[in-house]
Structure 1
Amino acid sequence: MISRNDVKKLLAFENGDAWVTTLSLNVDGRALPKRQGYSLVFKNLLKQTRADLEQAALSPQIRASIEADFNRMEAYLRDEFQRSHHRGLLIYACSRKGLWQPLSFPVPLRSKLVVQPHPYTLPLTSLLDQYPKYGVVVVSQERARIFEVYLGEIVEHSEIYDEVPGKVHDPESREFKSMAWYGLAERRLERRGRRSESGVGGGNSESSVYGLAERKIERHVENHVRHHFKRIADTTFTFFRDHHFDSLILGGQPENVNGFESTLHRYLASRIIGRIKGDPKSSLPELLEESLQVIQQAESEQKDQLIQRIKDANGPNGLGVLGLAPTLHALMQGGVQTLVVHDGATLPGGRCPSCGHLTLQEEAACPDCGTATEPIPDLVEEAIEEAILQGAQVVHLQQHPVLSESQGMAALLRYQPARNTNVAKGAA
């Protein structure tokens, strides 16, 4: 599971005068069902990058290290990489300095091969920015476990165990006796029975002694449980401060979850999106399965609300746009706050080699500077990267009727972009 610490470590990597090779590869089985598909994509990237490097002023040592990186990546894809459920692959390599870090993800990445004096961390930082992290806390009256769920994976971060005292002081005998000796549940029933038998104003000394002892035990246990829940709440807040999860899921028996939730900091309580039945004794696969169900439900509702906001704001003076042409127009003016795309959608288009403007037409004059555009195989992928570079949020939707009617692209805007008649004509 990646974190911002991974990005910091890569940025701090001491490569000296050696260059770092970064491979970002789309291995999505829906778009590339066979291994040969993504292998061919890599070979084409390799061919183009080698041609580009021929013009670079690099020492023989640096060139040898880069070529060793290429060869190791090729061998890894051929002999070692197991795609399984993964849809994206990221590899950082620097043979001269011993760097080799392959990372697999359950989301697709843009296929790109970058060779430069430092690691290309944009794919990592965009993943951290675009996909939410979830904290999961499961509690009982004695134990708690804290997890992080991110990109379909679960990692345990801490476990807390606070034993509820098994013995309490008995004032009558001046001894420490076990809670089992008092028979807490049985005494509660017994006390109720004796009250009903004795009638109004009745009672006896034995019942009073047991009642006092029982209440003492109850208060003693309740104090320890409250202390336990408070300790979990403090640990959870520290975990949030260090790992910055976006939402929180709680698990355990309802009475325990209720007690724990009452001790949470208000800022964390506001991030709760649901509960699971799992408790501290549950296995990791069980907890992950339950958590993903809550996450999928919450994300589905959030995405539906986002599409509705865009639809409601779509108009001449609104801050919502539907369709490729108006969305690209807003994106090229830096006005997109949230870009929404159909997951896996591809569409050819054009890009200006001079200013980088994206167009719907593969060969047309750039509406900004008039330069002839160059054809690009995937306009959607280019739009996503442009949005990330601008600091916009990118949301992927599997299927949605409003998005299907809008050519697979829509956006929520920061501000109204200036009207551009050239873009409108290009979309016609």
Structure 2
Amino acid sequence: MLEPLLSYVPTKSPVVSLYLNTDMTKRLKEEVMLVLKGFLKEAAEEANPEDLGKIEDFFSLEYDWQAKGVAVFSCTEGGLWLTHPFPQPFKDEFQVLPEPYIRPLVHLLSSHERYGIILVSREQARFFSFQMGKLEEFGGVSGTIPGKHKQGGWAQARYQRHIDEHAAQQLKNAAEAFTKLWDKEKFSYVIIGGTEENVKTFTDFLPGPIQEAIATTFTADIMVPISDLEEEVVSLVERFEKSRNEEIVRQILTEAAKGRKATSGLDDTLNAVREGRVNILLLDPEFKAPGKKCPNCGFMSSQKIEICPVCSSALEERPDILNDALAETLRKGGKVVTLSGNQELAKAGYIASLLRY
């Protein structure tokens, strides 16, 4: 969903970006519509009336109110109309800006990365995707393993080797099938379940990039009910992401303190973003800062200056310069990690980055 928003080319008409909590287990439809009408009224001075009308019609006539959250982006002049429901709620928010306001969306996606879940046995494998608390089964591969040999001695040992070779081939086939799924689905991480022996054999058949993306492994029966598996995966993901985020903060702030390939604080990080050096941008999702951006060269600053020090163009006001920073990071192939309430990150200015060079 981010691709059309990141590649959007601004026009003279602004983009209306809207996020709504539409969780009908927590609030009434009438309450949401009241919030929406308030937003549309507030946006009337800046936004194209056609965009506001399209948004109101969408919620009045098209939206099915099944999702817990929804994001809407509209700019008729720029050919932008994008709506997307989500299984997680947003905080109600709208912005009218030259470019799409993607901070809430990026925070949601970075907090709920997409996992490939694999269950393996000697006979079969099951593949799933997991994101935002939901598990979806893709299918898998299956085969048959020869039965046990009743004779003893050399014949039995030879037959057992035959069974083991057959099982290894099954796991290899499963690894090849998942590799194709990985290439198609673009998972961020992988979690593998099964016996310790089967998980190890399966893992050895995976290509290097997938092995590097393994978040954790666990013991599981191949026929575990999907509801039980979902509960287990939720717990595994929570533990992994907590540990991963703590390590990211520690690594970035240690590197920044030593003056190595990292930054901390707003302006140093903004400069690194503009230069395309940011590999991982780390920020608190609650941290917002007004700033200036150059429409010509992309220079960004939180300082009260009017002229770009790089190309001498007039700078444009930005109510939240972090929206521009994370969008530019993503455009240049970097990753954004959002982390709420981390005291070490707060001490560093609520924003930091790990650099490519």
TM-score, with structure 1 as normaliser: 0.61
Residue aligned with 2:280, SS: strand
Corresponding residue number in structure 2 for 1:221: 163
In structure 2, the partner of 1:142 is 123
Give, in whole Å, the separation in 2 of the partners of 1:101 and 1:150.
19
Decide whether aligned partners of structure 1 residues 46 and 73 sit closer, same or farther in structure 2, where only a CA change above 3 A counts. Answer: farther
Match of 2:186, as an amino acid? H
1:26 counterpart (19, 23, 28): 19
Please list, as runs of the form range in 1=range in 2, the aligned pairs for 1:186-225 lying within 5 A after superposition: 209-211=151-153, 214-215=156-157, 217-225=159-167
Is the contact made by 2:123 and 2:170 (CA closer than 8 Å) also made in structure 1? yes
1:294 matched to 2:241: no
Q: For structure 1, which segment, 338-347 or 381-390, has the greater mean C-alpha deviation from structure 2 after superposition?
A: 381-390
Deviation at 1:395, TM superposition (A): 1.2
| 1:163 partner SS | coil
Q: Equivalences for 1:19-418 in 2 at 5 Å?
A: 24-27=17-20, 35=32, 36-37=34-35, 40-41=38-39, 43-45=41-43, 48-50=46-48, 69-75=54-60, 80-82=64-66, 84=68, 86=69, 89-90=71-72, 102-104=84-86, 106=88, 111=94, 132-166=113-147, 179=148, 209-211=151-153, 214-215=156-157, 217-314=159-256, 317-347=259-289, 349-351=290-292, 358-360=300-302, 365-366=306-307, 368=309, 369=312, 371=314, 374=317, 376=319, 378-414=320-356
What residue ranges of structure 1 are gaps of 5+ in the alignment? 12-20, 52-62, 167-178, 185-208, 416-428
Q: Distance in 2 between matches of 1:150 and 1:302?
A: 17
State the Cα RMSD in Å: 4.5
Matched position secondary structure for 2:127: strand
- Cα drift, residue 162 of structure 1: 1.1
Quote the residue 1:194 is aligned against: none
Contact 1:325 / 1:360 at 8 angstroms: preserved in 2?
A: yes
Which AA in structure 2 matches 1:104? F
Change (3 A) 1:357 1:296: same
CA contact (8 A) 2:101 2:323 kept: no
Q: 2:234 is aligned with what amino acid?
A: L
Per-residue Cα deviation, 1:50-105 (whole angstroms, up to 9, x for no partner)? 25xxxxxxxxxxx6xx676334224269x743563x4x5246899xxxx9853326
| Cα distance in structure 2, aligned partners of 1:336 and 1:235 | 34
The number of equivalent residue pairs is 333
Could you say what secondary structure the match of 1:49 adopts?
coil
TM-score of the superposed pair, with normalisation by structure 2: 0.72
Distance 1:158 1:93 in 2: 40
Q: 1:353 to 1:114 in 2, by over 3 A?
A: closer
CA distance in 1, matches of 2:313, 2:168: 70
**1:367-405 deviation line (CA, Å, top 9, x unaligned):** 5348576462x3433432343344432110123222111
CA distance in structure 2 between the aligned counterparts of 1:324 and 1:115, rounded to whole angstroms: 22
Cα displacement string for residues 212-251 of structure 1 (whole angstroms, at most 9, x for unaligned residues) = 5644553443233222212111211222222232332111
Q: Tell me the alpha carbon deviations over residues 3-55 of structure 1, each in whole angstroms, 9 at most, x when there is no partner.
A: 98xx7xxx9xxxxxxxxx986433369xxx9745566445544653225xxxx
The verdict on how the C-alpha distance between 1:38 and 1:357 changes in structure 2, with shifts beyond 3 A counting, is farther
State the SS of the aligned residue for 2:48: helix
| Greater Rg by CA | 1
Name the structure 2 match of 1:201: none
Residue 336 of structure 1: CA displacement?
A: 3.3
Q: Secondary structure at the match of 1:27?
A: strand
The Cα of 1:358 is off from its aligned counterpart by: 4.3
Are the structure 2 counterparts of residues 71 and 375 from structure 1 closer, same or farther at C-alpha, using a change threshold of 3 Å?
A: closer
SS in 2 for 1:314: helix
* Distance verdict in 2 for CA 1:42–1:252, change over 3 Å: farther
Kindly indicate whether the alpha-carbon contact (under 8 Å) linking 1:91 and 1:102 is maintained by their aligned counterparts in 2: no
Give the drift of 1:145: 0.5
Residues 120 and 194, structure 2, Cα contact 8 Å, conserved in 1? yes
- CA distance in structure 1 between the aligned counterparts of 2:37 and 2:52, rounded to whole angstroms: 17
Q: Are the aligned partners of 1:352 and 1:366 in contact in 2 as well (CA < 8 Å)?
A: no
Query: What residue ranges of structure 2 are gaps of 5+ in the alignment?
Result: 8-13
Shift of 1:114: 8.9
> Aligned in 2, Cα 1:92/1:142: closer, same or farther, shift over 3 Å?
farther
Which structure has more RCO (C-alpha within 8 Å, separation ≥ 6)? 2
In structure 1, what is the Cα distance between the partners aligned to 2:97 and 2:313?
A: 29
Identity %: 20
1:268 & 1:237 partners in 2: Cα distance?
A: 8
Counterpart secondary structure, 2:283: strand
Return the alpha-carbon distance in structure 2 between the equivalents of residues 359 and 115 of structure 1: 17
Distance 1:214 1:276 in 2: 32
Go from structure 1 to structure 2 and tell me whether the alpha carbon gap of 1:161 and 1:315 turns closer, same or farther (over 3 Å shift). Answer: closer
